[in-house]
Structure 1
Amino acid sequence: MTTPPQAVAFPGRLDERTARRRFVAASFLFWLPMGLALAPMVLLFTERGLGLTAVAAVMAAHSLTAAALELPTGGLCDVIGRRPVLAGAGVLDVGALLLIGLGTTGWAIALGMAFMGAARALSSGPAEAWYVDTVHAHSGPDADLRTGLARGSTASSAALALGTLAGGALPWLLGLGPDLASRLRAYTSGLVLPLSVPALLGVLVEIAFVAHVLVALREPPRPPATLRGVLRGVPAAVAGGMRLGARDATVRRILMTASAAGTALAALELLTPGRAAELAGTAEAGAVLFAGLATAGFVCSALGSHAAPLVARLAGGSERAVLVSLAAGGTGLLLIAGTVLSTGALALTLAATGYALVHLGLGAAGPSESDLLHRRVGSAGRATALSVQSLALQLVAATGGLVIGALPAGPLPWLLGAAALLAGAALWTRRTPPVPAPVA
């Protein structure tokens, strides 16, 4: 019997179940600190004395750094290995959370956000690439990937939901005891505020993440990396990823689908806070409503990801699953658009249903898209391909946000997001020929 491609033994090779557990744990541990820091972040920055313009600038430091490093870090991961790059992302996040939680000046906070952006770029793909490589090494290229990818995506969304809830609740609980908050400020000379605590708690979780990566995510030995090899290998890996997107029809569809999802997410992130304030009656009440909606969105994304294997089975494969899931998300945005000019219980119910449908649809589509991508991409370019996919989403989200922000208020901005998702679904109405990708 011949050995299937990639089913090549290496010392300490993991079985599928063990690899899945470790991948899920890595996904959860990486995203939990992000959720903890997310809820109080803007309020913390304003408490440190930053105006809204300065807050926007430090946020831009994160986005621009992540976008600039997305492709080079994906190539680096394919050259030197998954584990060192993922551990490096965790170390950078430790520094980022410390600067965000303790920084008292704009430059320190901006540096922390840039570190976080670099960590986001480094983390975009290595854990998923490690999981797929490990499963292929154990069971060959035809092994089931959707279940593990779905559980990893579920864990990421669940971590964000739990972190957002805890990150919003901790400063509030600390604020209930004025003496406790005062002592906290006094003992730390004003460095630690109640709003800082979630980010500093995230540092401890991030340290646990780095330890998990170094201990649990074993991978086959690679030739020792040299500086010359890295300098030559990273550009070659990036170029290979870009060429793959140009020549492979399925990968092109996946990148265009990521772009559609970026437009939809831009619409949600930009328009939901204002809509929440309209429904709640005041900006303060709207902020509370939006925090609840954001948490509910993460939960719905987790549920959608968990259901992705079932959706694929019922739909008849990953391609049909992406079609059905994106169509559901587009329908959700249409429901929201239809209620923009309405008030009352029915409008609120329909808007909430639409919001849930968008996140359920995007959550269910993700694992099937990843399953399709990994079947067309070999191990040598896997992390780079994931970085190209992530970059497509980020760039279109940024561009789409500018367009959506310039449109007049009303249903039109929501309709643009709906049209993008429905167009993304339409890409999958025709099946692509089953051309196997190299897996070596």
Structure 2
Amino acid sequence: MSAGTHTGAGLDERGARRRYVAVSALFWLPIGLTIAPMVLLFTERGMALAAVTGFFAAHSLTAAVLELPTGGLSDVLGRRAVLAAAGLLNLGALVLLGLGTTAWPLALGMALMGAGRALSSGPAEAWYVDTVQAAAGPEADLRTGLAKGGVATSAALAAGTLLGGGLPWLLGLGPDLGARLGDATGGLVLPLSVPPLLGAAVEVAYVVCVLVALPEPPRPPATLRAVLRDVPVTVRDGVRLAGRDGLVRRVVLSAGAAGGALATVELLTPGRAAGLTGAAESGAVLFAALACAGFVCSALGNQLAPLTARLAGGSGAGVLAGLGTAAGGLLVLGVTAAFDEGRGAGAAGALAVAGFCLVYLGLGAAGPNENEVLHRRVASGNRATALSVQSLALQLVGAVVGLVIGRLPGGAAPWLVGGAVLLAGAGLWARPERSGARSPDVTHPRAGGG
């Protein structure tokens, strides 16, 4: 298969990078808009905690079940079609979440968002790598563009979190504004509904951007029979590659370790913030501020990823440095958890914030270096599938670690479990990378005539 088989003709490296950055930002901005208001919107609609956790389970399970098949679908049908479908699913999801008043529309909205998340996992990055390698050859610099895409993602999440948390508050400043809004729409639109509905409008721009800005060469018409045949073959070949290639296996396992670290932080930080401030409401404000700071630190880490690799001596060493930094941040969070109350609470709180920022800074620096290693080892025909395998590892290990730490007593122990998992992931990169040729390409099933 030629290098340009799956690429957009006529784009140079800089043009491809700009379009990849724009698509990354537009996809994640609507997600960021929902981070702060979503749980509160569900409770405002009268949903009990059990129902709320069920909604999030619907999202996670849908994303996990569809992760690999949708990655294979991108490798068979093309990047642009799958990304546009992800945007349309998210558009429908955000409308349901913004306007739904009963459990079934809200659960369906979360499931649709999970499906959109699975569809979006990999195709944009695969399009970027394919396009750059077609323009500049297989040894083209990938790390800079991957880093900038990570910066755009983190910046969009940070901006969305601030905007999504601030808009309902601003609408609530007028004593009758929220009530008038609800009365005018028959109770469908509340102040907390505005962020997801704004996100739905952004999704329209995202779909247009994908269809216009991500050119791909014409593909042979795909029949339903061919898709049903080729997608499982592509998934099987991608999973086999992850199993037999040592470097790809390191990427997948260290992604799982990162998932464990993120689960630890996301599950434990809200309660710890509420404990530090003394109330759930003020704790929620502190958590929103910390989440925004985390996204900013992740963006900074992404930006520093190329420099980290140069200073460390290669992409693998850059991953080791990034994951080691993040593990250090988790260990700081664990140690300071014992001092959240009492005379040392102020200093412990400041150190905990520093540890929190180190986690996201380190993970941000590791990500582009991990993915550069991955793209050097994986052929175009299985690139999105390999990214889906990586994403699935992150989700599954995160779920397992979450279940483990949920059964542990409070204090340092849960944080230290997350830190130990991440240290194990960093240790995978302590061995030097082999500099030989990448493993044999797994060709696209159509190209191979299978």
Name the TM-score, length of structure 2 as normaliser: 0.95
The aligned residue for residue 15 of structure 1 is 12
How far residue 179 of structure 1 moved from its aligned partner, in angstroms, is 2.4
The aligned residue for residue 424 of structure 1 is 425
Secondary structure at 1:101's aligned position in 2?
Answer: helix
The answer (yes or no) to whether the contact 2:273–2:284 under 8 Å persists in 1 is: yes
The answer (yes or no) to whether the contact 2:6–2:216 under 8 Å persists in 1 is: no
The answer (yes or no) to whether the contact 1:7–1:139 under 8 Å persists in 2 is: no
The aligned residue for residue 314 of structure 1 is 311
How far residue 96 of structure 1 moved from its aligned partner, in angstroms, is 0.2
Distance 1:49 1:260 in 2: 36
The answer (yes or no) to whether the contact 1:92–1:119 under 8 Å persists in 2 is: yes
Distance 1:262 1:292 in 2: 21
Aligned 1:278-317 pairs, distance under 5 A: 278-317=275-314
The aligned residue for residue 366 of structure 2 is 365
Aligned 1:235-274 pairs, distance under 5 A: 235-274=232-271
User: Which whole-Å deviations, capped at 9, do the CAs of 1:110-165 have from their partners, x for residues lacking one?
Assistant: 00000000000000000000000000111111000000000001100110000000
User: Which whole-Å deviations, capped at 9, do the CAs of 1:19-41 have from their partners, x for residues lacking one?
Assistant: 00000000000000000011100
Q: RMSD value over aligned CA atoms?
A: 1.4
How far residue 233 of structure 1 moved from its aligned partner, in angstroms, is 0.5
Distance 1:263 1:239 in 2: 25
Q: Which residue type is aligned with residue 207 of structure 2?
A: V
Query: How many residue pairs end up in the alignment?
Result: 437
**Structure 1 residue 132 and structure 2 residue 133: aligned?**
no
Distance 1:242 1:307 in 2: 31
The aligned residue for residue 104 of structure 1 is 101
Distance 2:119 2:9 in 1: 25
The aligned residue for residue 188 of structure 1 is 185
The aligned residue for residue 411 of structure 1 is 412
User: Which whole-Å deviations, capped at 9, do the CAs of 1:23-68 have from their partners, x for residues lacking one?
Assistant: 0000000000000011100000001110000000011100000000
User: Which whole-Å deviations, capped at 9, do the CAs of 1:3-27 have from their partners, x for residues lacking one?
Assistant: x961579884210000000000000
The aligned residue for residue 435 of structure 2 is 434
**Structure 1 residue 150 and structure 2 residue 150: aligned?**
no
**Structure 1 residue 40 and structure 2 residue 45: aligned?**
no
The answer (yes or no) to whether the contact 1:7–1:140 under 8 Å persists in 2 is: no
The aligned residue for residue 29 of structure 1 is 26
The aligned residue for residue 164 of structure 1 is 161
- Of 58, 61, 69, 1:64 maps to 61
The aligned residue for residue 118 of structure 1 is 115
Aligned 1:366-385 pairs, distance under 5 A: 366-385=367-386
* Residues 159 and 47 of structure 1: CA distance in aligned 2, closer, same or farther (over 3 Å): same
User: Which whole-Å deviations, capped at 9, do the CAs of 1:232-288 have from their partners, x for residues lacking one?
Assistant: 110001000110011000011111101111111111011111111121122221111
How far residue 221 of structure 1 moved from its aligned partner, in angstroms, is 2.0
The answer (yes or no) to whether the contact 2:8–2:131 under 8 Å persists in 1 is: no
How far residue 432 of structure 1 moved from its aligned partner, in angstroms, is 3.0
Q: Once structures 1 and 2 are overlaid, which stretch shifts more, 89-98 or 254-263?
A: 254-263
The aligned residue for residue 90 of structure 1 is 87
How far residue 306 of structure 1 moved from its aligned partner, in angstroms, is 1.0
Distance 2:8 2:390 in 1: 32
The aligned residue for residue 197 of structure 1 is 194
Secondary structure at 1:335's aligned position in 2?
Answer: helix
User: Which whole-Å deviations, capped at 9, do the CAs of 1:288-313 have from their partners, x for residues lacking one?
Assistant: 11111111111111110111111111
Distance 2:28 2:102 in 1: 26
Q: Which residue type is aligned with residue 210 of structure 2?
A: V
The answer (yes or no) to whether the contact 1:323–1:429 under 8 Å persists in 2 is: yes
Q: Which residue type is aligned with residue 46 of structure 2?
A: G
Secondary structure at 2:176's aligned position in 1?
Answer: helix
Identity %: 66
Distance 1:127 1:9 in 2: 12
Q: Which residue type is aligned with residue 74 of structure 1?
A: G
Distance 1:183 1:425 in 2: 54
Q: Once structures 1 and 2 are overlaid, which stretch shifts more, 417-426 or 28-37?
A: 417-426
User: Which whole-Å deviations, capped at 9, do the CAs of 1:51-104 have from their partners, x for residues lacking one?
Assistant: 000000011100000000000000000000000000000000000000000001
Unaligned runs of 5+ in 2: 444-450
Distance 1:257 1:143 in 2: 24
Secondary structure at 1:375's aligned position in 2?
Answer: helix
The answer (yes or no) to whether the contact 1:241–1:381 under 8 Å persists in 2 is: yes
How far residue 317 of structure 1 moved from its aligned partner, in angstroms, is 0.8
**Structure 1 residue 227 and structure 2 residue 224: aligned?**
yes
The answer (yes or no) to whether the contact 1:5–1:141 under 8 Å persists in 2 is: no
* Residues 11 and 241 of structure 1: CA distance in aligned 2, closer, same or farther (over 3 Å): closer
Secondary structure at 1:178's aligned position in 2?
Answer: coil
The answer (yes or no) to whether the contact 1:170–1:197 under 8 Å persists in 2 is: yes
Distance 1:219 1:9 in 2: 6
The answer (yes or no) to whether the contact 2:261–2:421 under 8 Å persists in 1 is: yes
Q: Which residue type is aligned with residue 402 of structure 1?
A: L
Name the TM-score, length of structure 1 as normaliser: 0.97
Distance 1:422 1:67 in 2: 25
Distance 1:11 1:181 in 2: 47
Secondary structure at 1:189's aligned position in 2?
Answer: coil
* Residues 11 and 34 of structure 1: CA distance in aligned 2, closer, same or farther (over 3 Å): closer
Q: Which residue type is aligned with residue 33 of structure 2?
A: L
